[in-house]
Amino acid sequence: MAEWDPELYLAFEKGRTQPSVDLVARIDLVAPARVVDVGCGPGNSTAVLAGRWPTAETVGVDSSAAMLDKARATYPQGTWVQADATAGLGHLGTFDVVFSNAVIQWIPDQATLLRGLFALLRPGGVLAVQVPNTAGMPIRTVLEELLSQPRWRGRFDGVTSTYPHPASFYYDVLSPLTAALDLWTTDYLHVMPSHDALVQWYSGSALRPYLDHLTDDAERAAFLAEYHDQLVPAYPPQPDGNVLFPFHRIFFTARAVGPANDRGGAPRR
């Protein structure tokens, strides 16, 4: 797994947080008692959850110590737990909302992970997930082309990044578990000031494993420079110099069978 840089990740905080805002708005629970943010990162998505349900016990979970340190510093009132979701989160108890924003694309076996997250729900609880789907996006295809070029071919053997799936994959995984399944997609059209900003955006997420693999600073700079130059024709600048960056994301919510806990009150474990 890549080493995370919270400051680099948050360089585009508004664009990275908006999907959390949109997903939370689609969760039709009034007063859940326990909420968990799986892969909370630096806490920006957890803050959205806490803002929607201020009386809920809200827990942020992440495997990155650096991200959690940033979350604790920014939101000291929060509850933050370092844990690997792929190893199971049953020790945290059950929840009315299990939330995950832009995380599960890092996991090869997303089907097993999603079944495990769904199993954390109380009756009537909601699993709510957003997943970036970069398949076919130039930001990803240009990277794949760069990795195949002679200078870099074979240099990243064994290095993995994200694992995109179509919306139909998530339907097939979750439809046997619930009839209350809602899926949708959104294309966010980010306005970026330059191609340097595009590289910076991706360096804070899916490009991280490749950059971590290059330990020589000069080599890393050369890799980023080549990537930048090949992005320019893929994302032609507008007349004002800005660059439009379409980003495709998949959303879904899935409700567990049973009456929802909308009464608030003391958390149940």
Task: Output the pLDDT for position 260.
Answer: 72
Contact present, 69 and 89 (Cβ < 8 Å): no
Chain mean pLDDT for the chain:
91
Give the model confidence (pLDDT) of 101-132 as tens digits: 999 999 999 999 999 999 999 999 999 999 99
Paired residues of 254 in beta bridges: 127, 181
Give the model confidence (pLDDT) of 128-176 as tens digits: 999 999 999 999 999 999 999 999 999 999 898 889 999 999 999 999 9
Mean pLDDT for 232-253 is: 97
Residue 90 in this model has a pLDDT that exceeds 80 = yes
Measured between alpha carbons, how far is 194 from 261 in angstroms, rounded to an integer? Answer: 47
Crossing angle of helices 217-234 and 195-203, in 10° steps, is 120
Q: What is the pTM of this model?
A: 0.90
- Nearest CA-CA partner of 254 in 191, 201, 184, 187: 184
Task: Output the pLDDT for position 267.
Answer: 36
Measured between alpha carbons, how far is 261 from 53 in angstroms, rounded to an integer? Answer: 13
Q: How confident is the model at residue 7 (pLDDT cuts 50, 70, 90)?
A: low
Q: How confident is the model at residue 265 (pLDDT cuts 50, 70, 90)?
A: very low
- What percent of the chain is modeled with pLDDT above 90? 83
Contacts of 134 (CB under 8 A, 6+ apart): 140, 162, 164, 206, 248
Q: How confident is the model at residue 87 (pLDDT cuts 50, 70, 90)?
A: very high
Residue 230 in this model has a pLDDT that exceeds 60 = yes
Residue 3 in this model has a pLDDT that exceeds 70 = no
Task: Output the pLDDT for position 194.
Answer: 96
Amino acid at 224: L
Q: How confident is the model at residue 269 (pLDDT cuts 50, 70, 90)?
A: very low
Task: Output the pLDDT for position 161.
Answer: 83
Task: Output the pLDDT for position 204.
Answer: 84
